Chain A
Amino acid sequence: MSDVQKSLGLHLGLLALLFVLQFLLPAYHQGNLARIMVLATYAIGFNILFGYTGLLSLGHAMFFAAGMYGMALSIRHFGFSPGPAVLMGLLAGVALSAAVGALALRTVGVAFMIVTLMFAQAVYLTVLYFGEYTRGDEGFVIQQAERIFLGIDLSQPTERYFAAFALFSVCLLVSMWVVQRPFGKVLIAIRENEDRAQMLGYDVFRHKWGAVILSGTISAAAGAFYGLLFGYAGATFATVQYSILPLLWVLLGGAGTLIGPFIGALFTFYLIDIASGLTTAYMLIVGVVLVLLTLFAPQGIGGELRARLWRWLP
């Protein structure tokens, strides 16, 4: 089997497993997994920029929130149905990431992190400022009647699971396709050695810009689905915490691996879930586990798998 076939086998295998799990899991875990798949999609978006292009954004919550509010506000104020509303969320993500990318990419390194962080804070404060429409911190609920897409009630567990599964599958396959295309390979080249990539004649700025837009749009798709499937939009999702979470998932799962974002999101979710069942000081357990992972698996779970077992992991 060639490396491409192996990787296709692994990732399609994961998707098949997730598909089947819906019929096997008890309702509680089924709900969790739906949430994890949406969050993992957010991490996939983040990973395109961080793991594959080598650009660390500390403001990805703005793209997640752009998708969420683009979707939710058009339902609330314009009476859109879920399909067009999600499309509005995507458009908001494209527009915001194109604008932010064009400006933030004038900086590099630490300055890039700070500029993205500041833009995200600006988006957060904008959400609060227009509290009359967004209901700020409090947020607003998207009613069950507003969440019916082509006759499918997305507030129901099974429907919700499959909607999350569809989103995750599409974004995983898109990212797998992209990193095997020449465009993706140039992104990896930029991550490895930007100077050399430029001196091979590649327009580094345009490629990075493309990466920001792709990354921001996938994050926005995750935001839009999150709001739609779980019926709520609020300013919490625009806070700095939601910019750090995808970084954490990707680092734990393995930056620059396709499967890493999912592993990271799954691992973190259940780590918190299990630890909080044991003690109220669950963040202490989570912290210790994170420190241990950083010490002994600095490349993340997916990265260690690649280094030790599966050299072909893309």
Chain B
Amino acid sequence: MSLLSTRGLSKSFAGLRAVHDVNFDLPKGEIRALIGPNGAGKTTFVGLLCGRIEASAGTVEFDGADVSRLPAHKRIQRGMAYTFQITSVFAKLSAHENVALAVRRRGGDVKTDVPYALDRVGLADRQHDLAGDLSYGHQRLLEIAMGLAQKPRLLILDEPTQGLADSEITAFKALVRDLSAEATILLIEHNMGVVMDTADRITVLNLGEILAEGTPEDIRADKAVQSAYLGTG
């Protein structure tokens, strides 16, 4: 059964069709990668899912309920979590407080859940540092910790590996596989290595529409995807 589905989801910005008539289904427990060339509408699409952006038309269903009209914070309260493409942490607060804000909202126990989330992304020894003082890669990891500290049912990660070192990417792949036991994951990603290694299925967006959908092998073999995105070579 689908945890998330959209019907006819569309968004235009002053006539520009950023996302057009998208029907999308994400079954529970899956790791889904969302790929596509720059400007394909990936970030806009997930923005519509979690309510950061208001849809021009269409519906979003989450966990069996129509959430199309709910503001972002209400969708988050229902079990979505979103990590920003452009790092967005509370720069003047400690790493600990950043995660604590995520834990407190769902009424969790700060004493146990914060160290646990930081430990999972490998930032346990950084908890007293100000988030703004962390390296770029560590800020990305902190975002992910804030995402998983919410114990979401759907975790939307917008280009999480951007700016991470190779060793951190390896650890990230393990973390995503690990998390898939607890949450359904929607991953926007440019790094094809990460996509091929982690995703159960891949959705390809191009010009705001779904171009193809399938397993990593299907997508690799798909002619249309190759010409639009992977390069015809």
Is there an interface contact between B97 and A185, defined as CB atoms closer than 8 Å?
Answer: yes
Say yes or no for B12: interface residue by CB 8 A criterion.
Answer: no
Q: Check A193/B89 contact, CB under 8 A, given A185-B97, A199-B50.
A: yes
**Residue of A185, A186, A195, A200 with most chain B CB atoms under a 10 A cut-off:** A200
Known contacts A192-B91, A192-B93, A199 near B84 by CB under 8 Å: yes
Whether A182 and B88, one on each chain, are in contact in the complex, defined by CB atoms closer than 8 angstroms, is: no
> CB distance A196 to B84 under 8 Å?
yes
B62-82 interface (Cβ within 8 A of A): 72-73, 76-77, 82
Q: Which residue of A lies closest to B102 (CB)?
A: A200
The verdict on A156 contacting chain B, using a C-beta distance below 8 Å, is no
Given contacts A198-B72, A201-B150, contact A192 B105 (CB under 8 A): no
Whether the pair B90, A182 counts as a contact (CB closer than 8 A) is: no
Q: Name B101's contact: one of A195, A200, A203, A204 (CB within 8 Å).
A: A200
Of B76, B90, B100, which one neighbours A201 at CB under 8 angstroms? B76
B91 contacts across to A, CB distance below 8 A: 192-193
Given contacts A201-B76, A201-B105, A202-B73, contact A189 B93 (CB under 8 A): yes
Given A193-B89, A193-B91, is A199 in contact with B82 using a C-beta cutoff of 8 Å? yes
A198 engages B73 (CB within 8 Å): yes
| Partner pick for A199 among B72, B92, B93, CB 8 A cutoff | B72
Say yes or no for B146: interface residue by CB 8 A criterion.
yes
Partner of A202, one of B50, B84, B92, B105: B105
| Complex partner residue of A200 from B52, B93, B146, CB under 8 angstroms | B146
Write out the residue numbers on chain A whose beta carbons fall within 8 Å of the beta carbon of B102.
200
B39 to chain A, nearest CB (A): 22
B-side contacts of A193, CB under 8 Å: 88-91
- In the complex formed, the residue of A with least CB distance to B72 is A198
User: How far apart are the CA atoms of A192 and B100 in the complex, in Å?
Assistant: 15
- Per the bound structure, the CA–CA distance linking A26 and B100 in Å amounts to 49
Contact indicator per residue, chain B 86-109, by CB within 8 Å of chain A (1) or not (0): 001111110001001110111000
Which residues of chain A come closer than 8 Å to B89, judged between CB atoms?
Answer: 193, 196
Distance of B89 from chain A, by nearest CB (Å): 7
Question: Is the CB–CB distance between B84 and A204 below 8 Å?
Answer: no
Query: Cβ of A186 and Cβ of B101 under 8 Å apart?
Result: yes
How many chain-B residues does the 8 Å CB contact rule pick out? 23
Most buried by B among A186, A189, A192, A196: A196
Kindly state the separation between the CA atoms of A198 and B97 in the bound complex, as whole angstroms.
16
**Which residues of the partner chain B approach A235 to less than 8 Å between Cβ atoms?**
none
Collect the chain B residues with CB atoms within 8 Å of residue A200's CB: 76, 101-102, 105, 146, 150
Q: What's the least CB distance linking A236 to chain B, in Å?
A: 38
Bound-state Cα–Cα, A21 to B204, Å = 73
Question: How many A-B residue contacts, CB cutoff 8 Å?
Answer: 52
Cβ of B104 and Cβ of A182 under 8 Å apart?
Answer: yes
The answer for the CA separation of A200 and B74 in the assembled complex, in Å, is 10
CB distance from B82 to the nearest CB of A (A): 5
CA of A49 to CA of B6 in the docked complex: distance in angstroms? 40
Once the chains are docked, how many angstroms separate the CA of A56 from the CA of B203? 45
Name A195's contact: one of B88, B100, B106 (CB within 8 Å): B88
Cα A197 to Cα B97 in complex, Å, equals: 12
Which residues in B have their C-beta under 8 angstroms from that of A189? 90, 93, 101
Set B72, B84, B90, B104: member contacting A192, Cβ < 8 A: B90
Determine the chain A residues whose CB is within 8 A of the CB of B77 once the complex forms.
Answer: 201
> Distance in Å from the Cβ of A310 to the closest Cβ of chain B?
16
With A201-B73, A201-B150 as known contacts, state yes or no: A185 contacts B84, CB within 8 Å. no
**Inter-subunit contact A201/B106 (CB<8 Å):** yes
Q: Does A258 contact B (CB under 8 A)?
A: no
Cβ–Cβ < 8 Å partners of B82 in chain A: 199
Complex CA distance for A203 and B101, rounded to whole angstroms = 13
Residues in chain A near residue B92, CB distance under 8 A = 192
Interface centre among B72, B73, B76, B91 (most CB of A within 10 A): B73
Q: Which residue of B lies closest to A206 (CB)?
A: B73
- Which residues of B are found within 8 Å of A185, using beta-carbon distances? 97, 100-101, 104
Sample (27) of A-B pairs whose CB atoms are under 8 Å apart: A182-B104, A185-B100, A185-B101, A186-B101, A188-B93, A189-B90, A189-B101, A192-B90, A192-B91, A192-B92, A192-B93, A195-B84, A195-B88, A196-B84, A198-B73, A199-B50, A199-B52, A199-B72, A199-B73, A199-B76, A200-B102, A200-B105, A201-B76, A201-B77, A201-B106, A202-B105, A203-B73
Nearest 3 Cβ contacts at the A-B interface: A201-B76, A192-B90, A201-B77
B contacts, CB < 8 Å to A? 50, 52, 72-73, 76-77, 82, 84, 88-93, 97, 100-102, 104-106, 146, 150
Q: Chain A: residues with CB nearer than 8 A to chain B?
A: 182, 185-186, 188-189, 192-193, 195-204
Additional 18 contacts, C-beta under 8 A, given A200-B101, A200-B150, A203-B73: A185-B104, A186-B101, A193-B88, A193-B90, A196-B84, A196-B88, A196-B90, A197-B101, A198-B73, A198-B76, A199-B76, A199-B82, A199-B88, A200-B146, A201-B105, A201-B106, A202-B105, A204-B73
